[in-house]
Structure 1
């Protein structure tokens, strides 16, 4: 894999830390700003909404820029809004910084996915995307627990300062490693052509499944800290380790997908999806048992990211004729789920069903994904990783 791909993963690490770190900060943040826990959880949904809007919009707006310039612009904006978030005392301003930061994050990730796909052979997109998404898993292992630990020692604002500081070396590394002449070459006419290419049934089914699976992941992960402390009875000092365990699982899942998803995507999605559904049901039933809860945090992190990263790769294969907007629409679909999941989990908690209801909502979302995939197969719609297989299709597209 090219060195520049790992440089992009460093920036994704900083952004993934920001996106996920509220899972360990929500109780303190809610108390400090005088809002409810579901309202604090809505900050995660706000970030996801910004990602949904920004994923298709930002790459199109930056289409005429060289990719390095576009990546730098998005990352600098991301850094600056975290500085604002670290000093504000207003929930409304914090909410706005989450949205703006998400717009920048979405633009960066969409351009980075397109750049990663161009850096490797046509039949290695799953490996390339797994390296990029690996930045998110490292964020879950290191960045999110570190953010939770900083929050416990110096307050939640210190976690935002930490993200801003980590973004600085990523900016320097992009300047030094990403080619300046690599264009994001979708002119206005090309953008229209790409939009037309994004209407294929295989891509639409893949995006729907990605939204549902990611919604399930974010639904429970957003409320993992109160689940661990209030339901499982785990001490608050152990929350960073619980979050790190989820991150270890996510790293294992992405690594598995990177090795298997290019060749056997259907098998991975089918078996992984069924196991993911069973795992969320088991988590809901056994959440009060601290040992079972800890084991299931690892298992569900692995399954969620194995299935989720496979769907990202399948979206890139399906959007081979839309290299710029394909990554944007994949990012948008995932963040539709990331917005919907915490909102549904917060609604269930706010309705008095307790924190245990979050994994039940996650199970429902995965069940809907399995039902949608089964319906697509029964009705003859194209499925992710169709019969010809992604490597074969990619090679055909590359020869055209």
Structure 2
């Protein structure tokens, strides 16, 4: 199978990861019934997956640097398929949560390995565009996963979405067997300190900055629906439609990432501009009582800028990481997830104590701080 199919196969792979992570949202009630528990307790399936993902990602990235991308990625696809299939057979919630931990391990191995593989195979000038195209697959999974899962569960029962994920992962494995190259470079087992130390240090500063701006942007998005409901008196259906504008923007940003990278020539400039736009549009949306059309424009801009910033930062991290691409990109995934887990309760507490505007301003300030830190980090290495 020609190498031109590599990026589409990787996009399908991360699409399944995105769908599997978010598809439980409409399924908590039928899952609670199936496992004889409450929807609140069934939500532990989401937490088990997310925490396993965040905790295991650095180790999985390190393994991919040493063992090679192909083996890790193919094994992760098989594990994901087996996990999804086994979930349809277990009788208890505890067993299902244990399996979701395995699913988190598979996701932790998949996402950073996919982007490290792109960095291994694609020239630096095209990496942001390639990563944006693959991230579009994840965006599609995140956006469509809950809706498709809800329809499947309604028509054929709660097992149907998991069976579809399992079949899709097996199909991706079969395609990946032919598409993923065998000659992927590996990191040295005992790398010595060298001139790569400066880029590596820059990579870790960049991933901390990404944790700030990406974590605050995602945490702010969680509050977007409530802002729309309260400020504009929208009903539930209207809020759902309005919030989907953010997802549209995210997809547009992913598609424009390659063009934007070529336009600005350097990911450093693109990353700084995009993160500042994220901070400005998010803060304006959350703190200022603008008209609904302007608010939707802010949501669209916020999503599009984030859709450009994410692949640009991933490409830049891969370039700075040297031989440790897998480890650095995996650590970035962990930092992003942990940032969201920390910032959500902090923002919620601030909102309950001081009101929504101060809480929103806090998130905007953290996002802008991350943008400034990104600018500082990239300037130190140019």
Q: TM-score, normalised by structure 1?
A: 0.75
Whether the 8 Å CA contact 2:61–2:328 is kept in 1: the answer is no
- Residues 44 and 339, structure 1, Cα contact 8 Å, conserved in 2: no
Q: Cα 1:305–1:81, aligned 2, differ >3 Å: closer, same or farther?
A: same
Q: What residue is the counterpart of 2:379 in the other structure?
A: 386
Aligned: 1:310 with 2:312: yes
State the shift of 1:53 in Å: 2.1
Report if the CA contact (8 A) 2:18-2:142 is conserved. yes
Query: Does 143-152 or 246-255 show the bigger shift?
Result: 143-152
SS at match of 2:191: helix
- Cα 1:27/1:208, change in 2 over 3 Å: farther
Q: Distance in 1 between matches of 2:345 and 2:44?
A: 7
Q: Is the 8 A contact 1:281 1:363 kept in 2?
A: yes
CA contact (8 A) 2:216 2:366 kept: no
Match of 2:279 in 1: 273
Q: SS of the counterpart of 1:10? A: helix
1:123-162 matches, cutoff 5 A: 123-162=125-164
Whether the 8 Å contact between 1:209 and 1:372 is mirrored in structure 2 is yes
Q: Using a 3 Å threshold, how does the CA distance of structure 1 residues 301 and 268 change in structure 2: closer, same or farther?
A: closer
Inter-partner Cα distance in structure 1 for 2:222 and 2:32: 13
Which residue of structure 2 aligns with residue 203 of structure 1? 203
- Return the offset for 1:344: 5.2
Distance 1:252-1:207 versus aligned 2 partners, 3 A rule:
same
Report the count of equivalent residues. 370
SS in 2 for 1:182: coil
Looking at structure 1, the residues matched to 154 and 242 of structure 2 have their Cα atoms a distance apart, in angstroms, of 15
Q: Per the alignment, do residues 366 and 96 of structure 1 end up closer, same or farther by CA in structure 2, a change over 3 Å counting?
A: farther
Contact 1:197 / 1:321 at 8 angstroms: preserved in 2? Answer: no
Summarize the Cα distance change of 1:87–1:328 in structure 2 as closer, same or farther, 3 Å threshold. same
Aligned to 1:171: 173
Alignment of 1:189-338 (within 5 A): 189-190=190-191, 200=201, 202-219=202-219, 232-235=234-237, 245-261=245-261, 263=266, 264-265=269-270, 266-281=272-287, 298-338=300-340
SS at match of 1:190: coil
1:22 Cα deviation (Å)?
3.2
Q: Distance in 1 between matches of 2:244 and 2:191?
A: 42
8 A contact 1:130–1:255 mirrored in 2 = yes
Partner of 1:367: 365
TM-score of the superposition, structure 2-length normalised? 0.78
- The alignment yields a C-alpha RMSD, in angstroms, of 4.1
**8 Å contact from structure 1 (residues 125, 317) kept in 2:** no
Counterpart in the other structure of 1:398: none
**In structure 1, what is the Cα distance between the partners aligned to 2:341 and 2:380?**
32
Tell me by how many angstroms 1:298 deviates: 4.5
Distance 1:366 1:386, change over 3 A: same
The 1-side partners of 2:305 and 2:197 are apart by 33
**Deviation of 1:116 (Å):** 0.3
Q: C-alpha displacement at 1:319, in angstroms?
A: 1.7
d(CA) in 2 for partners of 1:177, 1:62: 17
CA shift at 1:189, angstroms? 0.8
Distance 2:177 2:44 in 1: 34
Q: Deviations over 1:381-400 (max 9, x none)?
A: x63543776xxxxxxxxxxx
- Identify if the C-alpha distance between structure 1 residues 142 and 36 changes in structure 2 by more than 3 Å, giving closer, same or farther: closer
C-alpha separation between the residues in 2 aligned to 1:361 and 1:30? 33
Separation in structure 2 between the aligned mates of residue 153 and residue 227 of structure 1, nearest angstrom: 33
